[in-house]
Structures are given as structure tokens and as C-alpha cells.
Structure 1
Amino acid sequence: MDASKPSPSRHAALAFIFVTVTVDMLAFGIIIPVLPHLIVELIGGSIAQAAVWVGAFGALFMLMQFVFSPVQGALSDRYGRRTVILISSFGLGMDFIVMALAPVLWLLFVGRAISGMCAASFTTANAYIADIVPKEKRAAAFGTLGAAFGIGFIVGPALGGFLGHLSIRLPFWVAAGLSLVNFCYGWFVLPESLPPERRSKRFEWRHANPLGAVMLLRRYPQVFGLAAVFFLINLAQFSLNSTYVLYTDYRFGWGPQVVGYTLGLVGLCSGLVQAVLVRRLMPSLGERRMILLGLVLCIGGYVLFGLAPTAWLFLLGIPLLSLGGLAGPPAQALVTHQVDAHEQGRLQGALSSLASLAGIFGPALFANLFALFISNHAPVHHLPGAAFVLAALLLAAATLVAVRATRPSQTTVSAPNDEAPIAFPGETSPLAAPVADMLPNEPPESSP
């Protein structure tokens, strides 16, 4: 079979995982505009105090992803992608119910930790795409998956803002219902992408160790350089996750409803970039130029967010940030060229753990920076957008790294660096199984 030619089974499986990710992102998007305001309500404090707690919630969420992303990746390599996705969807549904009922802050805190554990399944969705799409089509497929994220954030925050205007806890109930619907959809519709003959022979905890999973990247210089770019991009993004809602409230007086609508605009622009522009620009620009173009545009968006004196100028930063999404799919495609099919879950788990590692420090860093610059002790007054300015500087560093990491001599498929074996905790210096190409030449037959 010619892997470059699409097959009906591959198109169907891609559609299934697209729907799964869209519904999950819709559930997460719904609670974005209301979670910080619920924290304010539960602590009965100021916006500055709430910003610190929002940072703690974000760090906890990403800590759970850091720990459980490689676990889920290794489990999906051993038992299949579908099983992991189903368990995670059901867990999210139950957890949103707990958060909807939480009468005190600590219970909401626990609920956020469980959300982080279950949300680690997004790495499994990336591995699912790798199972069914040939490598020359990979960037476009990851763009399609990115569009699913965008659609979730078009409808989710707007709907969450509207529901939050009615009741601050109603969005959590709707998110729970969506996650449980997703579980039912996956149970009856979603096919398995990884047949038994392509799975790992056994599950090993040393492969699921988050630090060991990240160290896996060291054996591949090409992957390691791009992984550093991923880390900086994700670290910068947490300036949005941890400060956007409270910053726009402080600076422009936006409540949950307006925040939801503007985040919906972010999702719309991002979805168009991922679904349309990535596919159309890839043949003419190529992976390297798309990565660098996306990074430069994203820097401009963060600068506007941080320095814009008016709301309309702030909104002009949204399309620039969305165009920054051009960098993600080609960068992810370059990384996946280096790994073997039966270990793709481990690689995706390692990359997600690296992003989660950024998330452990990012929310606290940016939230506390925002709190500092709106306090009486601010080193520079009239700069409440200092967190976004720092994000722009981080992306400037990522651009410099990407220039080197994406040079033609650095992006060709090569053997792993056997001179740098991975040392897992408790072991002397084992050499993990080599990782070569993430995708099989032929897509596996989908099985229900």
C-alpha cells in the first residue's frame, strides 16, 4: 500500500480523534473564564491574592501532566491508544462534577490536580495521529489536530462566559457532561489505531519515569534542539493561561462574558491558522521557514498584549498570536521524523512532560510577576503587562535556538547518539531502545 495515498480507514480514524479532542477542549475551554473568578469567590480576597492562587492552580495542573504524560504514553504503547483515551475522558467527567460541587478552595485544588492527570491523554491523541498518517502528511495532520483545539476554544470560552454570567458553577456541570459524552462516543465509535503486533511487549515503569522520559530526548541532537524550542514556547504561553483573565479585568474591566468572547476570538483565529494556513503554506514555505515565521509573529502578539494602552490595540495582538501557531505543526513533524512507531507514545509523553515542566514554573512565574507589577511595590509602574513582555523575550530566545536546530544538517534522520545513554533513577546507565521513525510506512487497519 502506498502510504502517501489517503485511505478511507485513515480518514475515518482521523475524523474520530478530531471529534474526541474537540469535545475535550470544549470542556476545558468552558471553565477558563470562570475558574479565576470562582477562586476569588472562595478566598474572598483581592485580584492580586487571587492571581497568586491562580498561579498555584496552574502549576499543580502542569505538575500532574508532567508526572502522568509519560505514564499514559507508555501505557498507550503497551495497551493501545483507545483504552487510555477512554479512561481519561471518564476521569475528567467525574472530576468536573467534584469541582462543580466544591464548597472550599482545597477541594477545588484537588479537583484541578485530577484534571491534570486526566488531561495528559492529549499526548495519546498525538500518538494516535502518528499511527495513522504517513510522515510526509504529518505537519498537515497535526495542524488538523490543532484546529480541534482551536474549535474547542472558539465555542468553549464564549459558552463558559455566557454560562458563568448565569451561575459561576454552571460551566463545570456542562464540562462534566461533555467529558462523559466523549467517553460514550469513544466507547462506541473511536477505533483503535495501534494493532497488537505494533505494541510494546511490556510496560516498564522506568520508561514511564517523567525525568527519564525527558532524558530520552538527549540521545537525539535534532530532537533535543527542537524540544528546547517547545519548552520556551510553552513557557511563554503560560503568561496567557495564568494572567489573561485577571489582567483584562484589571486593565480593561472585562468580566467573564467579555473574556469568554475574546477567548472565543482567539480560538477562531487559531483554528483558521491550523486548519487552513498550515496546509496551504507548508508546500511553499517548508517546515523551517514556517517555524521561524510563526515565532516572529508570536513575538509581535505578546509585545502588543504587554504594551497596548487601549483595549482595541490589545485585540490586534490576537491575530498575531494566532499566526504564531504556524510554528507548532512543522516543528512537531520534524521531531516525529526521528522516532520509531512502537515508541511514539514514549516520545509524545516526553515532549508533553517537557511542556508540563514549563507549566510547573510558568503559572507561578507569570502570575506573581503580574501581581508584583500591579502592587505598590512594582519596580516599574504602569507596566501591568510585564508578564507578556517577558513571554516575548522568551520567544526571542526560542527563535535563536530554532534557527540553529532547524538547519538542514540538523533535521535529517540519523541514528541516536549512542554516546549519551540515558540513566534512569535506580539504574546504572542503561541504553533505552532506539527510536527512529514515529510512523509506519503503511497505516494500520482501524479496528473498533
Structure 2
Amino acid sequence: MFQRPGKAAFAFILVTVALDMLALGVMIPVLPKLIVEFEGGDLKSAAVATGVFGFAWALMQFLFQPVLGALSDRFGRRPVVLLSNLGMGLDYVFMALAPSLSFLFVGRLISGVTAASVSTATAYIADITEPEKRAGRFGMIGAAFGVGFILGPALGGVLGNHDLRYPFWAAAALSLLNAAYGYFILPESLAPEKRAGAVLWRSANVLGSLDFLRRDRSLALLAVAIFLSYLAHESLPSLFVLYTEYRYHWDAETTGWALAIVGVSQTVVSGGLVRPAVKRFGERATLVVALAAGALGFAAYAFAPTGGIFMAAPPLIALWAMANPAFQGLATRFASASEQGRLQGALSSLRGVSGMVGPLFFTQILSLSIGAGGFPGAGYFVAALLLAASLFVARSAVSAAVADPASV
């Protein structure tokens, strides 16, 4: 007889996400350096290759998030999560041994596929959590992301100082240990009677997945709001280093400490504020506050005349971290138990699109806005406008849902 997983299963999923993000973060400081090494020290060629690597990884995420989500609806969450962890571990071994840039590129493509299990982990939480408590737990997932991306680059930098291949071996070990631990500990979360009768390949491809979001007007509007928020987020990794170097003349050490402060702030909010905020104010009010705070934070980034004033904005940006759990909590109300995987896969596809478009979009804005008479903060100002638009659309989505309660 099927038994609903308890708190230990939720803890394992948190650990799974944290280790996945840690493994990805470990490679952040060394992957570009390894590409430079393969390009014979040619920084110009390496920069082009690094951009292609980033786009290709996001493309794989975009294509395969819906597939893994649909497979988890049919066969359960456990096998998809475990196979993904195993695949990531083996792929990191492949990348550690890569003898050329082309082999490393193939490994990065595989990494994009296997790392697409986050949507399944999110669906797992939706399976084992009451609807009114999901936003709080999704906030804990955000905290797990933050922990991984705070510790990962630091560990990768230390190991990379000894050998550029060591971080890949560390990532492989983390993923394989995660798979082994989950094999013995992680129970299934989706009861057999709640599983899809067959893999719905129409919704397991990108277009079908996005079409899934169009089936309800409120869900479609909510998806638009989520995408605008995702796109605004891409301004952070795309602009932060270049913008602060150009405008405030920060060196690498200063930038590193600043990023650590941003990461810690977001982790504190995701892990400590989301649950009480949603419990007291509800998902809708929490979402409004989060998006408004994010918009104000980006506006502060855009107009801050000094680096000190610039660093007063991260707390506002951190409050924006409450938006995604609230978005997720609202979105799960539009899908049945057998559709949570497809829903999360579809939402992750939106993140994949933003991950491909955002870096090119924001770096081009920066390139056009710097120089004599330019406004170097234009990219962050556009991000603020995107969050303002997201807030407007999200309110419209909630209003439409209230007008048609049967849709929720």
C-alpha cells in the first residue's frame, strides 16, 4: 500500500537540490579557465566559446525540462530524480577527462539535460505538501539553491588553484553520492493511481509544454508574469561584474565579496522569510511585496552614484526572492496531482527561454549604454521595468482567477 513520504523525504529533496547546485557552482570559476586552456590562452576565442557553452546549456534545459517532468508524471518522481543524479555524476567524470574543447562541449550539453531534474524535485514537493504550505517549502528550495551557489564557487576556486580538473571530480563525487543515498532513502511521492496513464509527448516537448500553460487564462497570465520575472533575474549574472567594474572600478576581490553578500541575503530570505510571510499575508500579498521590492532594488542599482549606495540595494533584491515561491504556490493550484510534473517542466522551460535570451539582451544594453553621455545603469533600469510589468500581469492573473474560482 502506498504511503505518503514524510519530512525525511522533503529533507532529502532539499539536500538533492543543494548538492546539484553545489556541483554546478563548483564549476563556475574554472570552466572558463579550462576553455582558455583548450584555446591555447586565446582569451578572445575563449570568450566566444564560453558564450556558446552558456547558450547551449540553457537550450538543453529548455528542451528537456518538459520531457523529464512528463516522465515523472508517468513513472513517478523517484526514478527521474535518481537517474538524473546518476547521469550528472557520470557526465562530470566525462568532463573531467575531456581531452579537447569539443568533448568538453558535449559534456556541457549532457549536463544541461541531466540538470533538468529540478522541475521534478519541485513536483515532488507539490506531491507531499498541502497547497497552502507549498509556497513556504518552495522558499526552502530557493534557500537550497542559494547555499549551493554560495559554497560552490568558493570550493571550485580553492580546488581549481591546484588543478582545473579537480572541481569536476568533486562535482562528480557529490552527484554520485547523492544518487546512492537517494537509492536507499528516497521514497516515491506520486501514488500509482495518480500517475498519468501514458507519457503525453505532446506536453513533453517545448511547444506542447508551453501550450499546457495556455489552457487557462489565469494560468497563462501567471506564466507571462513568471517569465518577465525570470528575464529580469538574468540581468544579475549578466551585468553585475561588468557593470560594477565600469561604474565603480571594483576589482575582483570586491566583486566577490559583494556577490557573497547578495547570495547570503537571498538565502536568508528564501529560507527564513517566505514561510512566515505566506502564512501571515498569503501568496498574493507576498508576491506583490516581493515584485515591488525587486523593482525598487533594480532601480537603486541603476541610479546608485557610488558603490556604497549600490550595496544598500541587495536587501531589496533579496526580498524579491519571495516572488518565485509565491508564483510556484499559485501555479500549482491550476494543476492536478498527475500534472504537477508537466506544470513544473513548463515553468522551467520559461526559465530556459529567459536563460538563453537574457544574457544576450542585457549585455547588449550595457554595450550600447556605456561611453560618453550614456546611462550605464540602463540594463538594471530595464530589469526594474520588467518586474513592474510582472507585478501588473500577476495582479491581472489573480483577478481573473478570483472572477472564475473554478479555474483554481
Q: CA deviation at 1:68?
A: 0.5
1:288 to 284, 288, 293: 284
Confirm or deny: 8 A CA contact 1:64 1:116 kept in the other structure.
Answer: yes
Judging changes above 3 Å, is the alpha-carbon distance between structure 1 residues 45 and 149 closer, same or farther for their aligned structure 2 residues?
A: same
1:131 to 127, 134, 151: 127
* Cα-to-partner distance string for 1:96-131 (whole Å, 9 max, x where unaligned): 233334454433332222111111100001100011
Q: State the partner residue of 1:403.
A: 395
Amino acid at match of 2:341: G
Secondary structure at 2:353 match in 1: helix
Separation in 2, partners of 1:40, 1:307 = 35
Separation in 1, partners of 2:137, 2:368 = 41
* Cα-to-partner distance string for 1:207-242 (whole Å, 9 max, x where unaligned): 311101101111111111111111111112122233
Amino acid at match of 1:285: F
The structure in which a higher percent of residues are helix is 2
* Cα-to-partner distance string for 1:421-441 (whole Å, 9 max, x where unaligned): xxxxxxxxxxxxxxx7xxxxx
- Residues 1:388 and 2:407 aligned together: no
Separation in 2, partners of 1:77, 1:37 = 39
Which contiguous aligned blocks of 4+ residues in structure 1 show a shift greater than 6 angstroms? none
Confirm or deny: 8 A CA contact 2:203 2:212 kept in the other structure.
Answer: no
Q: State the partner residue of 1:329.
A: 325
Judging changes above 3 Å, is the alpha-carbon distance between structure 1 residues 173 and 63 closer, same or farther for their aligned structure 2 residues?
A: same
- Residues 1:80 and 2:76 aligned together: yes
1:121 to 100, 117, 121: 117
Amino acid at match of 1:109: F
- Residues 1:208 and 2:200 aligned together: no
Judging changes above 3 Å, is the alpha-carbon distance between structure 1 residues 308 and 39 closer, same or farther for their aligned structure 2 residues?
A: farther
Separation in 1, partners of 2:162, 2:316 = 32
2:295 to 299, 312, 317: 299
2:88 to 83, 88, 92: 92
Judging changes above 3 Å, is the alpha-carbon distance between structure 1 residues 126 and 8 closer, same or farther for their aligned structure 2 residues?
A: closer
Q: CA deviation at 1:52?
A: 5.0
Residue range with higher mean Cα deviation, 212-221 or 302-311:
302-311
Confirm or deny: 8 A CA contact 2:69 2:341 kept in the other structure.
Answer: yes
2:358 to 355, 362, 368: 362
Normalising by structure 2, we get a TM-score of 0.89
Normalising by structure 1, we get a TM-score of 0.81
1:103-252 equivalences under 5 Å are 104-247=100-243, 252=249
Confirm or deny: 8 A CA contact 1:33 1:245 kept in the other structure.
Answer: no
Judging changes above 3 Å, is the alpha-carbon distance between structure 1 residues 312 and 171 closer, same or farther for their aligned structure 2 residues?
A: farther
**Identical pairs, percent:** 49
Secondary structure at 2:209 match in 1: helix
Judging changes above 3 Å, is the alpha-carbon distance between structure 1 residues 103 and 382 closer, same or farther for their aligned structure 2 residues?
A: farther
Separation in 2, partners of 1:245, 1:34 = 16
Secondary structure at 1:407 match in 2: helix
Residue range with higher mean Cα deviation, 139-148 or 261-270:
261-270
Separation in 1, partners of 2:116, 2:25 = 16
Q: CA deviation at 1:166?
A: 4.1
Gaps of 5+ in 2: none
Q: CA deviation at 1:313?
A: 3.4
Confirm or deny: 8 A CA contact 1:36 1:246 kept in the other structure.
Answer: no
Q: CA deviation at 1:344?
A: 1.1
Amino acid at match of 2:62: F
Separation in 2, partners of 1:304, 1:45 = 37
Confirm or deny: 8 A CA contact 2:269 2:318 kept in the other structure.
Answer: yes
Q: CA deviation at 1:380?
A: 5.3
Amino acid at match of 2:357: F
- Residues 1:12 and 2:4 aligned together: no
Gaps of 5+ in 1: 1-6, 416-435, 437-448
Q: CA deviation at 1:400?
A: 1.9
Separation in 1, partners of 2:308, 2:159 = 25
Judging changes above 3 Å, is the alpha-carbon distance between structure 1 residues 354 and 142 closer, same or farther for their aligned structure 2 residues?
A: same
Confirm or deny: 8 A CA contact 2:85 2:178 kept in the other structure.
Answer: yes
Amino acid at match of 2:198: R
Secondary structure at 1:192 match in 2: coil
Residues matched between the structures, number? 404
Judging changes above 3 Å, is the alpha-carbon distance between structure 1 residues 9 and 121 closer, same or farther for their aligned structure 2 residues?
A: closer
Separation in 1, partners of 2:355, 2:28 = 16
- Residues 1:339 and 2:335 aligned together: yes
Confirm or deny: 8 A CA contact 1:58 1:363 kept in the other structure.
Answer: no
Confirm or deny: 8 A CA contact 1:55 1:367 kept in the other structure.
Answer: no
